[in-house]
Amino acid sequence: MSIDAIMEASRAGLSYERLRLDAASRNISAANMPLAPNAAATSAQVTGSANAFGAHIGDDGFEIQQLPIATRQVHDPAHPLADAQGMVHYPAIDLVQEMTTLMTASRGYEANVRAFNLLRSMTMKAIEIGAK
């Protein structure tokens, strides 16, 4: 395996973890936003294909897609977005799961940064040794 392939795998890992952080952040920010009556709730999720080394396949790579989810209902007849029964609809987003995703994506990103920096320093050391 070439050094470029290893660096590309690390870069793809960084991109994937960054997108997971973005998707979880979007979901957390939308968790308490009321929906208009008859509006569909969505949840951001990272999609894409990866090979065994984590590098993306194709030009598109990974992306964040909005997927439909269920809603939770809160009885609040005074709310301006309440329906005829006085129910306000919110996306049914599990905040514990989203916070866990934030933590694991953050740690995965840090691990990919360390791996990339280690490979870069090893490459620079090899070039330094070869120059002597």
75-127 per-position pLDDT tens digit = 999 999 999 999 999 999 999 999 999 999 999 999 999 999 999 999 999 99
Q: Provide the terminal-to-terminal Cα distance of the chain, rounded to the nearest Å.
A: 26
- For residue range 41-59, list pLDDT tens digits in order: 889 888 775 544 444 444 4
Question: What is the per-residue pLDDT for 128?
Answer: 92
Q: Cα separation of 49 and 75, whole Å?
A: 41
Check residue 83 and give left, alpha or beta (phi > 0: left; psi -120 to 50: alpha).
beta
Output the pTM of the full model.
0.81
Query: Domain coordinates of the chain in residue numbers?
Result: 3-118
Query: Which tops the pLDDT comparison, 2 or 51?
Result: 2
Question: What is the per-residue pLDDT for 49?
Answer: 56
